[in-house]
Chains A and B, each alone.
Chain A
Amino acid sequence: MITGWIMENLPALLLAVPMLGAILTPLVGKVSEKGRNAWVLLVSLAALCVAALLTNEVLSSGTVIYTFGAGTPASAIPADSGGLPFRIIFTVDAMSVFMAISASIVGFAVTLFSIAGDSKMSGKDSFYALLLLMQVGILGMVCTGDMFNFFVFLEINSLAGAALVASRVDKGYAVEAGLKYAVLSTLGGLLVLFAVGLFYGQYDALNMAVIADSMQFGVLDKIALVLLLVALAMKSGAVPMHFWTPDAYSMAPSSVTAFLVVASQASLYGVFRVVFTLYNVTLDYATIGWIIIILGVLSMFIGVTMAIPQKDVKRLMAYHAVSQTGYMLLGVGVGLAVLGNAAMMDAFGMTAMEGGLFHIINHAMYKGLLFLTAGAIFYQAGTRNLNKLGGLGHEMKWTMVFFIIGALAIAGIPPFNGFASKLMIYESVFMFSPILSIIAMVVSILTLASFVKVFHSMFMGPKLPEYEGVREVPRYMLAGMGILALLVILFGVFPQQVVDFLITPAATALVDQGSYIAAVLGGGA
């Protein structure tokens, strides 16, 4: 009975569990520090379990609808509403659970890392409450089927994120980065709200399925599309709106940075959701597809060239994050550009999209891992400056191993997961346009070069006298990194299984606008 009850309310529990956890964290923290740590771990583990159950449910029995405040979860359209679903509805399809599961895994690893890694900070009660709230924001963004609800979760996500970026006040740098992040994300959020207002004014609806069903693609819709793309691309850190990423990523505590990567990807999910589900058939595929491709290529190239001269290891990694975002945009953009052409879609379009989506989860894993290793080094050595670091490999062996795994994965070396998704992107993009594929490969080589340099200056060389007392980091931090490293290797060794199980349903769900609409409105749309 209790299992049936849980299964029925999975989408609500996915949000309610971390939310309740966030609210209770300060209260538990008053009782005891250890209890608070255990509580936070428990909550994020529970959220991960709910996400896994939901993934299983959605992948085995199709899109799940959850109507808040209705008598039963599936009654999307109230009897006396005249056929309009005006309640807040969660439409959880394969794409949503794909994002939700990757966010929950990173969330759990980050919490594990943070319990030891941020133990020197004060005000940890609020820190963990905000971390859980940020998870609520991310999970809400990827699950919701309502445009205004999407805006609300976007704001929860950015407010919690900004507060977390600024949480280590030291000397005001972090606060400045937090201010920059908060101003830009709030402006982005307001642009999204404006676009939502434009939709409501035209279609009298906020539900994504209803808007998609009645989409006319008039002038106002075009304005709304531009606003949404600008705002969400800015939040996801793609060039040319990437200037906040290095500041925010480098100044935030490392555990938060690893989570900010997932938050950016939730915005990327927003871009894909808007383009594929809201507009889809009404779009001029080639134009929008090429815009996304160009954004992707610019992000890849500018990101990596800006990364090479950096001295601060986290700043360097942040620019690499911008560069990797470009791969996802490139893959999905190629898929979008050939969406109207069934033959090309079968030949390489679908593979390109799958590669782009696969890269999202891979990026969340290895970039999270890299940021956590950077955090481990900062925890022990107290600096992030590459010119000062050196010889850490003698003492921090595990951290070094994890860093190597992450670095090889980001550079696309087999048998790690970055290789699997990059190979899919190279192959399919090569059939679309060889020059793009070559650019992608060159960027990959530059990435490798950059990380070889970082590895050398951090771990190699003789022991430096100033790092005499450096030891391996505490066990919890290693466990957090270990989970991600394990997944990086697993996804790299068995890419086909992961693609078949998670990625192909997600890509199909994105492309298939009709079934998304039908899931909410019922019948064939």
Chain B
Amino acid sequence: MNMSRIVRSTANILFPFILVFGFYIIVHGHLTPGGGFQGGAVAATGFVLLLVAFSPDIIRDKFSFNSMKYTEALGLLLFIITAFVAIALGTTFFFNWLANGGIIFGESVAFGANPGILNSAGTIPLMNVAVGIEVIGAMGLIIMYMLSGIEGGNKE
């Protein structure tokens, strides 16, 4: 069932901010505390908020099981492809092949305290993004499965 209008409006307003905050944590994972998993979890709480505020039917119209599954698979694929490219380049699995390369995320950083350069750290931010996508998908999937379980609706 729907919650009251106040709750629904607040959820509507807060939802984008929660998502943006989640993305912020994901892309700054290599500079500040946080990273893919934490950011993804924060973004997934946005979905929980919507779930609490609106009736499950509306949620199911907006986000399907399949889209969540694809999101999860996409994140995992991105992650493992990043790792695979490293062996294709003649180094080992998970080698940081982008770092200090000057292209994307390629700036070198001096050792010690620094103000935080977003465009650094090579594959680490890439993998953070991959994990973030994966976690959003997986958390969404878990939440939706549990929701359908509570309702006694379709089973896994």
> Are A and B in direct contact (Cβ within 8 Å)?
yes
Q: Within 8 Å of chain A (Cβ to Cβ): is B69?
A: yes
- For residue B48, CB closer than 8 A to chain A, the reply is no
Asked if A123 is an interface residue, CB under 8 A from chain B, the answer is yes
Q: CB of B96 within 8 A of chain A?
A: yes
Which B residues from 57 to 101 make CB contacts under 8 A with A?
69-70, 73, 76-77, 80, 83-84, 87, 90-96
Closest to B155 in A: A169
**CB within 8 Å for A12 and B80 given contacts A23-B73, A27-B73, A123-B156:** no
CA A19 to CA B76, docked complex, whole Å: 10
Q: Which of the residues B73, B76, B84, B94 comes within 8 Å of A68, measured between beta carbons?
A: B94
How far is B93's CA from A2's CA once the two chains are assembled, in angstroms? 16
Chain B residues in 8 Å Cβ range of A214 = none
Q: How far is the CB of B99 from chain A (nearest CB, A)?
A: 11
Interface residue ranges of A12-51 to B (CB < 8 Å):
12, 16, 19-20, 23-24, 26-27
Contact between A72 and B69, CB atoms less than 8 A apart: no
Q: A65-79 CB contact bits vs B (8 Å, 1 = yes)?
A: 011111111000000
Given contacts A16-B83, A169-B155, contact A9 B69 (CB under 8 A): no
The count of residues in chain B whose C-beta lies closer than 8 Å to any C-beta of chain A is 18
- Point out the residues of chain A lying under 8 angstroms from B87, CB to CB: 5, 9, 12
Does B76 lie within 8 Å of A71, measured CB to CB? no
Residues of A with C-beta under 8 A to B96: 69
List residues of chain A with CB within 8 A of the CB of B91: 70-72
Given contacts A16-B83, A20-B80, A23-B80, contact A72 B73 (CB under 8 A): no
Contacts of B94 in A (CB 8 A): 68-69
Residues on B with C-beta less than 8 A from A169 are 155-156
Smallest Cβ distance from B104 to chain A, in angstroms? 19
With both beta carbons as reference points, the residue of chain B lying nearest to A67 in the complex is identified as B92
* Count of chain A to chain B residue pairs whose CB atoms are closer than 8 Å in the complex: 48
Chain A: interface residue count, which band? 20 to 34
Residues of B contacting A5 with CB < 8 Å? 87, 90
User: Taking the nearest CB of chain B, how far is it from the CB of A91, in angstroms?
Assistant: 14
Contact indicator A66/B92 (Cβ below 8 Å): yes
Interface class of chain A by DSSP: mixed
Smallest Cβ-Cβ distance to B123: which chain A residue: A69
With both beta carbons as reference points, the residue of chain B lying nearest to A12 in the complex is identified as B93
The answer to whether A70 and B92 touch (CB under 8 A), given A9-B87, A16-B84, is yes
Determine the distance from Cα of A226 to Cα of B70 in the docked complex, in whole angstroms: 44
Measured CB to CB, the nearest residue on chain A to B77 is A23
CB distance from A242 to the nearest CB of B (A): 29
Which residues in B have their C-beta under 8 angstroms from that of A9? Answer: 87, 92-93
B139 CB to nearest A CB, Å: 16
Find chain B residues with CB under 8 A from A12 CB.
87, 92-93
Bound-complex Cα distance A190 to B84 (A): 31
Q: Which residues of B contact A123 (CB under 8 A)?
A: 156
Residue numbers in A under 8 Å from B95 (CB-CB) = 69-71
Interface residues of A in 345-380 (CB under 8 A from B): none
Please determine whether A68 and B92 come into contact, CB atoms closer than 8 angstroms.
Answer: yes
User: Are B80 and A16 in contact (CB-based, < 8 A)?
Assistant: yes
Chain B: which residue is nearest A71 at the CB level?
B91
Bound form: Cα–Cα A23–B75 in Å: 10
Report chain A residues within 8 Å CB of B76. Answer: 23
A384 shortest CB reach to chain B, Å: 24
Nearest residue (CB) in A for B95 is: A69
- With A and B bound together, what is the CA distance between A9 and B86 in angstroms? 11
**Alpha-carbon distance A152/B95, docked complex (angstroms):** 20
Instruction: Tell me the bound Cα distance from A67 to B87 in angstroms.
Output: 12
CA distance A481 to B38 in the complex (A): 45
By a CB distance below 8 angstroms, the chain B residues around A26 are: 69, 73
Kindly identify which residue among B70, B80, B90, B92 contacts A69, using a CB–CB cutoff of 8 Å. B92
Q: Given the complex of chains A and B, what is the CA–CA distance between A23 and B80 in angstroms?
A: 9
Q: How far is the CA of A380 from the CA of B76 in the complex (A)?
A: 38
| Interchain CA distance A24-B70 in the complex, whole Å | 10
Q: Report the separation of the CA atoms of residues A291 and B73 in the bound assembly, to the nearest whole angstrom.
A: 46
Contacts of A66 in B (CB 8 A): 92-93
- Of A26, A69, A72, A123, chain B has the most CB atoms within 10 Å of the CB of A69
How far does the Cβ of A255 sit from chain B's closest Cβ, in whole Å? 19
A68 to B87, CA, bound (A): 10
The residues of B that contact A23 with a CB separation of less than 8 Å are 73, 76-77, 80
Closest Cβ of chain B to A323, distance in Å, is: 35
* A75: nearest chain-B partner, CB-CB: B92
Is B155 within 8 A of A73, CB to CB? no
Q: How far is the CB of A479 from chain B (nearest CB, A)?
A: 30
Give Cα distance in the complex from A71 to B156, angstroms.
44
Task: Apart from A66-B92, A67-B92, list 10 A-B contacts with CB within 8 A.
Answer: A12-B93, A23-B73, A26-B73, A68-B94, A69-B94, A70-B91, A70-B95, A72-B91, A73-B92, A169-B156
Query: 8 closest A-B pairs (Cβ-Cβ)?
Result: A12-B93, A69-B94, A23-B76, A68-B94, A9-B87, A73-B92, A70-B92, A69-B95
What are 16 A-B pairs at a CB distance below 8 A? A9-B87, A9-B92, A16-B83, A20-B80, A23-B77, A23-B80, A24-B73, A27-B70, A66-B93, A68-B93, A69-B92, A69-B93, A69-B96, A71-B91, A71-B92, A71-B95
- B interface residues, Cβ below 8 angstroms from A: 69-70, 73, 76-77, 80, 83-84, 87, 90-96, 155-156
